[in-house]
Amino acid sequence: MSSLNNLTDKLKSAQTPFYYYDLQLLQATLEACRTAAQPYGFHVHYALKANFNARVLQLIRDAGFGADCVSGNEVSKAIEVGFDPSKVVFAGVGKADKEINEALDFDIFCFNVESVQELEVINSLAAAKGKRARVALRINPNVDAHTHHNITTGLAENKFGINQWELADCAEVLTKAGNLWLEGIHFHVGSQITDMNVFKSLCVKVNEIKTWFEERGFNLNVLNVGGGLGVDYYHPDENAIPDFAAYFAIFDRYLDRRAGQEVHFELGRALVAQCGTLISKVLYVKKGIKKNFLVLDAGMTELMRPALYQAYHKIERLEGEAGSQVLKYDVVGPICESTDCFGKEVELADSERGDIIAIRTAGAYGEVMASRYNLREAIRSVYSD
């Protein structure tokens, strides 16, 4: 935060709200991830949906990461920004024909396929183009991510992925389909996972399913274990960079892979969350009987995570003139919704109109979820350089 505190005077005169990106921290995070993955030869694709800000994407591309996309527009964006199509994967439970066709035209590395029906659709669209589509089956591992129920994706009867009892059907379609090539298997258990045992359980599952395929003569080139590594929302300064070494070590230790078999990761949040801060100004201070409210000029239209998943973000008041007495505030936005609240009973130094409030760890699933609800201004961003 010190770098932000030094900027307080500048920020005070800037038009708020906006996202502030610390590009040095982003670069350090990318470097840490790359260095930790390298000894094992692991490949990392960045999940674009976490943040597709142009400057952020450029740095990630320059660091050599691939791109994990969940829409046709993300696929085109990744390629437009300069990600190599041979490092682009396309997941998503509802890929439209148009999106599949475009991805086939780009010759992307792989479709992560989420149902038996989708396999058939991709096969026929590829046939029409005289192409062979590389696919990986996104299999529902039925592993509990121990994370918020709105961001868990790997339990049975989830809309995501193929269930294990459907694998025989998939194998049959793949054997007959002349325009598909099974590249590997794909898993994604959820997001903001901080318990490393979850990844250990995932490895056990991947080994089991990999064996199932190999016993049936499918030679898998790729084991894609998805993303989900969490970040420390409570201590953004002390823990600015996730422990990538510990994360990759789990997969190295518990995943059985034969020589030449590639392991792919799809990290989003862990790479970009800590480099982003939502900067806003206090518009009004309301002192009630039991509660004090700080009304900010930023709301759920700029950062939806608290309203959407009751997510915690550390809230700080940047140095200002107000007194040092600490009070408890409900920090709210201006939007006409009761869920438009960034935090309840947040302890902050006595605040007044015009103070700058920083909402930390907002680089992932922040700017990308901004909306124009209430006809709000489009969100802006400012960079540390």
Ligand X SMILES: *Cc1c(COP(=O)(O)O)cnc(C)c1O
Q: How far is the CB of 265 from ligand X (least distance, A)?
A: 8
Instruction: Among 29, 53, 68, 275, indicate the residue that binds ligand X (CB under 6 A).
Output: 68
Rule CB under 6 A: say whether 91 interacts with ligand X.
yes
Q: Measured from the CB atom, is 3 or 310 closer to ligand X?
A: 310
Instruction: Among 95, 210, 257, 269, indicate the residue that binds ligand X (CB under 6 A).
Output: 269
| CA end-to-end span of the chain | 16
Rule CB under 6 A: say whether 70 interacts with ligand X.
yes
Q: How far is the CB of 226 from ligand X (least distance, A)?
A: 5
Residue type, 295: V
Beta partners for 190? 152
Q: Measured from the CB atom, is 37 or 282 closer to ligand X?
A: 37
Residue 85 phi, psi (nearest 5): -55, -30
x-marked contacts with ligand X along 182-221 as a string, rule CB under 6 A: ------x--x------------------------------
Q: How far is the CB of 167 from ligand X (least distance, A)?
A: 19
Q: Measured from the CB atom, is 138 or 317 closer to ligand X?
A: 138
Distance CA 13, CA 186 (A): 48
The answer for 4, left when phi > 0, alpha when psi is -120 to 50, beta otherwise, is alpha
Instruction: Among 184, 268, 299, 333, indicate the residue that binds ligand X (CB under 6 A).
Output: 268
From 120-128, 265-273, 303-311, 322-330, give the range in contact with ligand X by CB under 6 A.
265-273
Q: How far is the CB of 269 from ligand X (least distance, A)?
A: 4
Q: How far is the CB of 280 from ligand X (least distance, A)?
A: 24
Q: Which of 228, 230, 272 is nearest to 52 (CA)?
A: 272
Contacts of 192 (CB under 8 A, 6+ apart): 147, 148, 151, 228, 230, 231, 269
How many residues in the shown chain lie near ligand X by CB under 6 A? 18
Beta partners for 263? 223
Q: How far is the CB of 308 from ligand X (least distance, A)?
A: 14
Name residues contacting ligand X, limited to 221-240 (CB under 6 A): 226-229
Instruction: Among 47, 67, 231, 362, indicate the residue that binds ligand X (CB under 6 A).
Output: 47
Q: Measured from the CB atom, is 232 or 355 closer to ligand X?
A: 232
Contacts of 232 (CB under 8 A, 6+ apart): 194, 238, 239, 242, 361
Q: Residue for token digits 């907002």?
A: 362
Name residues contacting ligand X, limited to 130-189 (CB under 6 A): 188
From 32-40, 43-51, 245-253, 366-374, give the range in contact with ligand X by CB under 6 A.
43-51
Instruction: Among 20, 22, 49, 53, indicate the residue that binds ligand X (CB under 6 A).
Output: 49
Q: Measured from the CB atom, is 125 or 273 closer to ligand X?
A: 273
Are 51 and 19 a contacting pair, CB within 8 Å? no
Instruction: Please spell the DSSP secondary structure of 41-72, one letter per residue.
Output: T-EEEEEGGG---HHHHHHHHHTT-EEEESSH
Distance CA 184, CA 245 (A): 24
Distance CA 66, CA 48 (A): 10
| Cα 279 → chain centroid | 21
Please report, as ranges, the residues that interact with ligand X according to CB under 6 A. 47, 49-50, 68, 70, 91, 188, 191, 226-229, 266-270, 364
